């Protein structure tokens, strides 16, 4: 219920990658954008990468699409640590990808969130 109204400086940065999941066209309509995710950060000198703006259209939720985008985003981050600002009720869901809480809860657009981080394993 909180769509971003405009492109921000991260969206427009040439180093940001936008992952899009499309449902193919059907007899009743054209291709449909069903989920998104953005990957950004600095790989310079051991920097930290970020995943953000994970969004799945309501009619497409529960089908594993966001998980596919998260796994692809993590692949793009390589061996670098990755941080996210997760909606609090999804903490357990993000833990399956190796993310752990790394700070206190906070509000973002009136929605409870928490910071999470995925470091290199081993």
- Could you list the residue range(s) of the whole structural domain that residue 60 is in? 9-118
pLDDT means per 10 residues, the chain with 122 residues, are 69 90 89 95 79 94 97 94 96 97 94 93 55
Tell me the C-alpha distance between 61 and 82, whole Å: 24
The residue among 47, 87, 42 whose CA lies nearest residue 66 is: 87
Residues 6+ apart with CB under 8 A from 111: 2, 87
Q: Is residue 1 part of a domain?
A: no
How many structural domains does the chain have? 1
CATH number of the domain residue 88 falls in: 3.40.630.30
Q: Is residue 3 part of a domain?
A: no
pTM (predicted TM-score):
0.87
């Amino acid at each position: 219920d909180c769509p971003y109204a405009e492109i921000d400086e991260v969206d427009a940065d040439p180093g940001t990658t936008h992952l899009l999941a499309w449902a193919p066209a059907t007899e009743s309509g054209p291709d449909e954008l069903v989920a998104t995710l953005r990957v950004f950060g600095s790989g310079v000198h051991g920097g930290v990468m970020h995943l953000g703006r994970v969004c799945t259209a309501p009619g497409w939720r529960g089908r594993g699409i966001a998980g596919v985008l998260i796994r692809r985003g993590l692949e793009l981050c390589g061996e670098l640590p990755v941080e996210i600002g997760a909606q609090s009720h999804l903490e357990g869901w993000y833990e399956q990808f190796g993310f752990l809480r790394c700070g206190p809860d906070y509000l973002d657009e009136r929605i409870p969130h928490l910071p999470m981080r995925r470091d290199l394993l081993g």
